[in-house]
Structure 1
């Protein structure tokens, strides 16, 4: 005969009891958190893909509008003669005769004084779809002088110099985007500059027609160059004394090259920047004159690059890198509330919460492309917080804990936004914030009896 007392108190299923324990729920939530890294990684790939598309669009615009500007000149070019002797022996008489042949070579002289004032104007109406590449117009004014031209330093006899075949050359990139009439004034006489074919794959060459240079004469020059350009403007200090002044209506310059701008006169404001350089011949390791060929001087450049300090895709990528932290902390908040309030939250509901957190990043990138990152972040964060607030009210059947969840998410998203905006102090602020979060979790979980769960 069966015992009725035994029928009324069946032995609990150990497997069922374990699945209802906090330990099992923690394991499932942890596995779900790791699983959500898959869609988070897909979102990060989407951000990188959109960023690459922007870079491709920018490159296409730069190729049509104008590329970076790299400039040096003017250079005085004067040809001279060198001679080779060939001994010819008569096959019959065995007499030797010497033939002398003249070879024309070039001597190059850099200016004694070189002054440059450049104005850079950012162009804002060049758009390609969603993107607005950094392109500009550059107006460059040059003046200076050549003097003390000395062939003796080059071991060349002055009687071998072709003084009536002198010319001025200029080396520059971005020839196709020059927008000015190319003329250079030499002692108040103007000469046209024309493109010259050369073997340099990087710099193009502009050269004047031949003119007569009078030995010992001081030769003053002046000319203007107007470009459509992008990315950067750089110069090479070929003057014995080189001064450069750059003004621009762009507030994020990156001063680049081998020579620093003068700190006492450098100014950067919200409206633009101003920078000055003064470089002496003793500051750079190359000479003022050469024969036959000018050496490669690109390593001695200086100038400015127009940059975006952190563009929208970089900000989105940085935000997505905190995705695992946001998901983990949000799940932790729900888990602690579930444990404290004795409310049951199903693993499916955790999944819906995680997917809502992932949707934040797709909203962020899509809205950012049509507005600013700040507005996009505020809209996406508000949408996700409101969604999770309403969902948690439905799940927990009360308003006290959902309001706590909403406040916690607001603090968390605000904390992430502050870290993204910071540059030099991001690691410090992030470390302090995580320390405080850990302390808060330890405080609110201190009275939970884990041994009975």
Structure 2
């Protein structure tokens, strides 16, 4: 307390003096500082985006579980390998007191003609659709007389009475009705479970060849009624294999060790054919079973996956990967409108805009499971665009600026959808789009005073120059 002219006066804390008339309020409104705050908020939104991505993964896992459950009851992805000729034989003992060793020789056909016709249908579990099929597989194989010298140089004793014809099947639960093989110029023989010839490993069926003269060429015709889901493949085991496949499914994805030589895909379905030589398989035509028969019979198949053209979970995942870039671009657009309007938006308002952008992906995921990806994308994008445009229009007290932001959002969502559908050119289009956006930002803000100090400095200098000097 001090007294002047008898009146007490209070001492007040001195206001910090900033150079050239710069006030703390003006420094707080620095566009440069605001720019980095907005960037920090955009990075924080990575956290809810990660939760949305985790939610997408859970829904995708649920869809795969539904597909597996349907496959367990109907039939899983099917691979047919064979037929092959399995002949047990005895190897002479190395010593006088030892017993002969029993082995199984596997002889692959010299020629194989295989065809399959699959009729597909959609099975539904909860809200998930899974394509399944009923197929008829026809196999015609020609075998040369078994030559054990191609396997071993020892004198072995073939057990012709135990010889079997084996066909590998990936999921034997999909086999329907009886399966028989017709010996050319002979009787029909019926298939039984397992690969036979004492082989316990591997999935498949076998037919005994007891009474069949195997010292002459053997021609066998076999037919299978097979249920499965998602994909169907046939293994070209022969020296020369000719395979054909047809189906009413309009969206095949040809897969396997070899692509088809000829294929036709139209509104009625697809048909494809392969010709494969054993030289392309790196597998001998005769060898001894070494407990890898399942791998031998079922590896290297060719066929088609009954591909669903819109894998919504994959598309949603790709959309989420563009999320942080999209959020950053929208924040920059709002920041630009804020500069033009000479207004000052709060960080909370940017955060609310960010939450609306994140909620778009939740809407997209939930709606896509019921409406399809395109309808869900249009609905979620329209709702998000309308909400943010209306909100910014109210905040900036200008519905014209809100409409401008809505146009920017609509264009952005359109570009993202184009990137999602263009797998081959997504990287190129994304890189060009990012470069154009950065160019527009740099040129549009070339004259922005990012420090926010120039106006205060100029105003202070002008006021100091025009004010009358006080007497010393």
Aligned to 1:113: 111
Aligned to 2:45: 36
User: Using the alignment, how far apart are the partners of 2:398 and 2:214 within structure 1?
Assistant: 97
User: Using the alignment, how far apart are the partners of 1:35 and 1:418 within structure 2?
Assistant: 27
User: Using the alignment, how far apart are the partners of 1:351 and 1:79 within structure 2?
Assistant: 75
State which drifts further: 424-433 or 134-143.
Answer: 134-143
Aligned to 2:227: 228
- Any conservation in 2 of the 1:166–1:212 contact (CA below 8 Å)? no
CA deviations on 1:406-425 (whole Å, 9 max, x unpaired) are 11111111111111111110
- Any conservation in 2 of the 1:77–1:108 contact (CA below 8 Å)? yes
User: Which residue, 252, 264, 268 being the options, matches 1:267?
Assistant: 264
Determine whether 1:332 maps to 2:332.
yes
Aligned to 1:430: 430
Once the two structures are TM-superposed, the CA of residue 364 in structure 1 deviates from its matched residue by: 0.8
CA deviations on 1:217-237 (whole Å, 9 max, x unpaired) are 333221211211123323332
Aligned to 1:138: 135
Higher RCO, 1 vs 2 (CA within 8 Å, ≥6 residues apart): 2
TM-score scaled by length of structure 1: 0.85
Secondary structure at the residue paired with 2:134?
strand
User: Using the alignment, how far apart are the partners of 2:187 and 2:326 within structure 1?
Assistant: 70
Change (3 A) 1:85 1:397: closer
Count of aligned residue pairs for this structure pair: 430
Secondary structure at the residue paired with 1:114?
strand
User: Using the alignment, how far apart are the partners of 1:25 and 1:38 within structure 2?
Assistant: 21
User: Using the alignment, how far apart are the partners of 2:361 and 2:431 within structure 1?
Assistant: 23
- Any conservation in 1 of the 2:31–2:449 contact (CA below 8 Å)? no
Aligned to 1:181: 178
- Any conservation in 2 of the 1:419–1:426 contact (CA below 8 Å)? yes
Aligned to 2:461: none
Aligned to 1:257: 256
- Any conservation in 2 of the 1:165–1:212 contact (CA below 8 Å)? no
Aligned to 2:466: none
- Any conservation in 2 of the 1:76–1:168 contact (CA below 8 Å)? yes
In the TM superposition, 1:82-93 aligns within 5 A as 82-84=91-93, 87=96
- Any conservation in 2 of the 1:166–1:213 contact (CA below 8 Å)? no
In the TM superposition, 1:364-383 aligns within 5 A as 364-383=364-383
Change (3 A) 1:392 1:74: same
Aligned to 2:458: none
Once the two structures are TM-superposed, the CA of residue 289 in structure 1 deviates from its matched residue by: 2.7
Determine whether 1:73 maps to 2:82.
yes
State which drifts further: 419-428 or 323-332.
Answer: 323-332
User: Using the alignment, how far apart are the partners of 2:235 and 2:348 within structure 1?
Assistant: 65
State which drifts further: 237-246 or 418-427.
Answer: 237-246
Change (3 A) 1:343 1:241: same
User: Using the alignment, how far apart are the partners of 1:199 and 1:162 within structure 2?
Assistant: 15
User: Using the alignment, how far apart are the partners of 1:25 and 1:157 within structure 2?
Assistant: 89
- Any conservation in 1 of the 2:343–2:396 contact (CA below 8 Å)? yes
CA deviations on 1:42-65 (whole Å, 9 max, x unpaired) are 212211221122222222222222
Once the two structures are TM-superposed, the CA of residue 156 in structure 1 deviates from its matched residue by: 7.3
User: Using the alignment, how far apart are the partners of 1:301 and 1:445 within structure 2?
Assistant: 59
CA deviations on 1:313-353 (whole Å, 9 max, x unpaired) are 11111111222122211111111111112123232222221
Aligned to 1:237: 236
Determine whether 1:56 maps to 2:54.
no
Once the two structures are TM-superposed, the CA of residue 133 in structure 1 deviates from its matched residue by: 2.1
Secondary structure at the residue paired with 1:116?
strand
Q: Which consecutive residues of structure 1, in runs of 5 or more, have no partner in the other structure?
A: 3-9, 89-99
Secondary structure at the residue paired with 2:82?
strand
User: Using the alignment, how far apart are the partners of 2:446 and 2:214 within structure 1?
Assistant: 93
User: Which residue, 40, 46, 52 being the options, matches 2:55?
Assistant: 46
Change (3 A) 1:371 1:218: same
- Any conservation in 2 of the 1:137–1:226 contact (CA below 8 Å)? yes
User: Which residue, 102, 121, 130 being the options, matches 1:123?
Assistant: 121
User: Using the alignment, how far apart are the partners of 2:233 and 2:91 within structure 1?
Assistant: 36
User: Using the alignment, how far apart are the partners of 1:408 and 1:345 within structure 2?
Assistant: 19
- Any conservation in 1 of the 2:119–2:248 contact (CA below 8 Å)? yes
Change (3 A) 1:328 1:285: closer
CA deviations on 1:339-397 (whole Å, 9 max, x unpaired) are 11212323222222122111111111111110111111110110111112221221122
- Any conservation in 2 of the 1:119–1:140 contact (CA below 8 Å)? yes
TM-score scaled by length of structure 2: 0.82
- Any conservation in 1 of the 2:91–2:155 contact (CA below 8 Å)? no
In the TM superposition, 1:203-222 aligns within 5 A as 203-214=202-213, 216-222=215-221
Once the two structures are TM-superposed, the CA of residue 312 in structure 1 deviates from its matched residue by: 0.6
In the TM superposition, 1:95-106 aligns within 5 A as 105-106=103-104
- Any conservation in 1 of the 2:140–2:220 contact (CA below 8 Å)? yes
Change (3 A) 1:149 1:404: same
